[in-house]
């Protein structure tokens, strides 16, 4: 009987282990259920606030089909998220009091989180957009948080979702703390979430564009699991240097850009003079950031973050409704980023610009390199030729090919010797002709993406 009971308990606990996000042993990557997890995100900021259940299902299903693994969404949303009802006519708080959540509103949030899980989508959940912490010149607010009620609200929210297996927590919401008062509010939220989840929550902070991202204020906070950047929406921003700076900080923590230039966005908010961002812009951000040391990457689309529709006021000139925008070229090309990154050993990859000689090109022509122990990737933004310092990875003979970020196709180069300095010329060059050189230790016989 005792033996049968022991077997039953073993089976119960091994079959009821909650899949959980953790940080890798080398502190560089995110794991889920102990396995490498590639963060391919989308900024669906208004998901909870603006979409019906049927619309949320359509959005999540399609993003899952396109390979996205994370949706970033806000509970207390931007655009008067406290007073403008959600798609069901509910508002999130009673009397704007963070200690009085409205159950009907949060049942809608519950539904979307569970629906996302059914599509193998994870939610990077922001308890609030930053204008609820302090009112500023572009947010609608109102300012409702103080240190005490921030702790109450975040703790309540974390208890509600502590057993969900598809949640990552993001504080901040597009705001930089003005001083110790704001820092204390975010700190209170972080600590409350950790307490409510028995210190198992994975938490980051979404800032405005700055030099060190979340690390500027919170790098040494115990609750901050990884650093996060927002690039902003200007073209050819050298955020790869900022990624590298955060990557090199102590203590070591993972890092990623969670809001780069969006597809179909007015460049620097000035479409008349600078035009609108495109698929090349979002590809550049993805490959340059990842090769500079980011553990994952978030794609964004101007038409989708606001869930633009005939029912909503347009913000900063979107072009198409969100349903159509899901099929923009850059969104569909993100799957090729994911396939490349997951095609080789994941947890030993490091940035390494010493691989190449051409390290000083302007952002529009930047060449960025990353490697593992037995493979390396080199991204050339405009198809410029470059020279590789061989011998950086294992193998006397290397298998070489070009990877096309626009369509995921490969072009064989053949086998080469792993010594000396070798020149490589991509199949095409010029604007929009970005390429990735892949070199593998031939003895490993890695499959192509």
Q: How far is CA 205 from CA 173, 333, 368, 424, in A?
A: 8, 27, 26, 40
7 in any annotated domain: no
Reply yes or no on whether the pLDDT at 12 is more than 80. Answer: no
pLDDT surpassing 70 at residue 336: yes
- In 10 A of CB 230, how many CB atoms? 23
Classify 271 in phi/psi space as left (phi over 0), alpha (psi -120 to 50) or beta: alpha
pLDDT at 19: 61
> Are 322 and 356 part of one and the same domain?
no
381 within some domain: yes
Are residues 369 and 266 located together in one domain of the fold?
no
- Show the domain range for 408: 350-444
Average pLDDT, the chain: 94
Cβ contacts of residue 15 below 8 Å, gap of 6+?
none
Are the C-beta atoms of 44 and 72 separated by less than 8 Å? yes
Is residue 349 pLDDT above 70, yes or no?
yes
Give the residue from 313, 342, 371 where a domain finishes: 342
Same domain, 337 and 377: no
How many Å apart are CA 200 and CA 223, to the nearest integer? 10
Say whether pLDDT at 232 is over 50.
Answer: yes
Residue 197 belongs to some domain of the structure: yes
Q: What is the pLDDT of residues 426-440, one digit of tens each?
A: 999 999 999 999 999
**Average pLDDT rounded to a whole number, residues 55-72:** 98
Domain boundary among 325, 342, 359: 342
For residues 403 and 320, membership in a common domain is answered with no
Same-domain check for residues 387 and 241: no
Q: Please tell me the predicted confidence (pLDDT) of residue 239.
A: 92
Q: Which residues contact residue 390 at a Cβ distance below 8 angstroms, ignoring those fewer than 6 apart?
A: 398, 417, 418, 419, 420, 421, 422
Q: Any idea how long the chain is?
A: 449
pLDDT of residue 136: 74
**CA 222 – CA 99 distance, rounded (Å):** 25
Instruction: Give tens-digit pLDDT for 170-228.
Output: 999 999 999 999 999 999 999 999 999 999 999 999 999 999 999 999 999 999 999 99
Residue 7 scores a pLDDT above 80: no
Same domain, 373 and 318: no
**Are 251 and 333 members of one domain?**
yes
Domain assignment present for residue 9? The answer is: no
- How far, in Å, are 30, 167, 310, 366 from residue 253 at the CA level? 10, 19, 42, 25
Last residue of a domain, one of 342, 359, 392: 342
Residue 264 lies in a domain: yes
Nearest CA to 230 among 219, 221, 239?
Answer: 239
**Residue 76 shares a structural domain with residue 222:** yes
Cα 316 to chain centroid, rounded: 23
Shared-domain flag, residues 304 and 422:
no
**What's the average model confidence in pLDDT over 381-399?**
98
Q: How far apart are CA 245 and CA 206, in angstroms?
A: 17
Same domain flag for 289 and 201: yes
Give the helix/strand (H/E) hosting 28. Answer: none
Residue at 423 is within a domain:
yes
Q: How far apart are the C-alpha atoms of 126 and 138, rounded to whole Å? A: 19
Strand partners, 389: 421
pLDDT digits (tens, 9 = 90+) for 152-166: 999 999 999 999 999
Domain count, the chain: 2
**Model pLDDT, residue 137:** 64
Q: Do 420 and 296 have their domain in common? A: no
In this prediction, what percent of the chain has a pLDDT beyond 90?
Answer: 92
- Whether 10 shows a pLDDT value over 60: the answer reads no
Tokens of 30: 């995110």
pLDDT in tens, 260-307: 999 999 999 999 999 999 999 999 999 999 999 999 999 999 999 999
In a domain, 13, yes or no: no
Reported confidence tier of residue 134, pLDDT bands at 50, 70, 90: confident
CATH number, domain containing residue 315: 3.20.20.80
For residue 3, being part of any structural domain is answered with no
What's the pLDDT score for residue 17? 41
pLDDT over 60 at 113, yes or no: yes
CATH of the domain at 372: 2.60.40
- Asked if 255 and 293 touch (Cβ cutoff 8 Å), the reply is yes
**Same structural domain for residues 131 and 276?**
yes
């Amino acid at each position: 009987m005792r033996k049968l009971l022991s077997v039953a308990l073993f089976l119960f606990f091994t079959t009821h282990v909650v899949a959980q996000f953790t940080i890798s042993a080398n502190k560089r990557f995110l794991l889920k259920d102990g396995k490498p997890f590639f963060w391919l995100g989308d900024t669906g900021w208004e998901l909870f606030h603006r979409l019906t259940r049927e619309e949320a299902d359509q959005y999540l299903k399609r993003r899952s089909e396109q390979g996205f693994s994370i949706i970033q969404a806000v509970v207390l949303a931007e655009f008067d998220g406290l007073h403008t009802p959600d798609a069901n006519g509910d508002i999130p708080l009673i009397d704007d009091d963070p200690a009085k959540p409205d159950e009907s509103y949060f049942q809608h949030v519950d539904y979307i989180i569970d629906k996302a899980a059914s599509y193998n989508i994870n939610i990077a959940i922001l308890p609030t957009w930053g204008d609820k912490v302090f009112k500023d010149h572009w947010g609608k607010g109102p300012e409702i948080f103080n240190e005490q009620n921030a702790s109450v609200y975040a703790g309540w929210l974390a208890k509600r979702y502590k057993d969900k297996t598809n949640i990552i927590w993001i504080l901040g919401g597009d705001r930089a703390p003005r001083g110790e008062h704001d820092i204390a509010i975010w700190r209170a939220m972080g600590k409350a979430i950790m307490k409510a989840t028995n210190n198992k929550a994975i938490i980051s902070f979404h800032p405005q564009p700055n030099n060190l991202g979340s690390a500027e204020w919170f790098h040494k906070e115990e609750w901050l699991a990884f650093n996060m950047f927002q690039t902003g929406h200007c073209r050819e921003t050298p955020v790869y240097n900022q990624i590298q700076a955060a990557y090199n900080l102590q203590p070591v923590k993972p890092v990623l850009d969670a809001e780069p230039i969006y597809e179909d966005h007015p460049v620097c908010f000035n479409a008349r003079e600078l035009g609108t961002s495109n698929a090349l812009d979002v590809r550049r951000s993805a490959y340059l950031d990842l090769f500079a040391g980011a553990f994952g990457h978030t794609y964004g689309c101007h038409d989708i973050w606001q869930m633009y529709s005939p029912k909503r006021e347009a913000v900063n000139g979107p072009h198409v409704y969100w349903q159509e925008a899901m099929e923009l070229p850059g969104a569909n090309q993100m799957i090729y980023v994911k396939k490349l990154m997951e095609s080789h050993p994941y947890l030993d990859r490091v940035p390494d610009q010493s691989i190449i000689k051409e390290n000083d090109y302007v952002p529009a022509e930047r060449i960025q390199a990353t490697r593992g122990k037995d493979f390396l990737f080199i991204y050339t933004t405009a198809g410029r030729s470059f020279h590789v310092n061989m011998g950086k990875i294992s193998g006397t003979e290397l298998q070489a090919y070009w990877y096309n970020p626009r369509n995921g196709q490969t072009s064989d180069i053949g086998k080469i010797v792993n010594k000396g300095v070798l020149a490589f010329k991509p199949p095409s060059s010029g604007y929009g002709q970005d390429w990735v050189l892949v070199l593998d230790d031939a003895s490993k016989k890695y499959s192509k993406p």
